[in-house]
Amino acid sequence: MELIEIKLPKCTVLLTQKELLTLLSSNLDIYKIGIQRGKTTKRYHTQKYREHDKLIDFLNQNMIH
């Protein structure tokens, strides 16, 4: 059984996926906010990795020539 770890200021909560979905389904607004936050964070990190890769490529090309 895989557990999802949620770190809070004074404790750590471990829930199964089913338990977490049950909690989130009781308040769909929080669920929607969490999904949007996840999408935004993922897009941000993807963009940062792309920028990093472009910089590395640029530096490698200029060092070779």
Per-residue tens of pLDDT for the chain, all 65 residues: 899 999 999 999 999 999 999 999 999 999 899 999 999 999 999 999 999 999 998 898 887 65
pLDDT on residue 49: 93
Closest alpha carbon to 34 in 19, 21, 46, 45? 21
Return the axis-axis angle of helices 17-25 and 28-64, rounded to nearest 10°. 120
The answer to whether the pTM exceeds 0.95 is: no
Q: 20 near 5, Cβ under 8 Å?
A: no
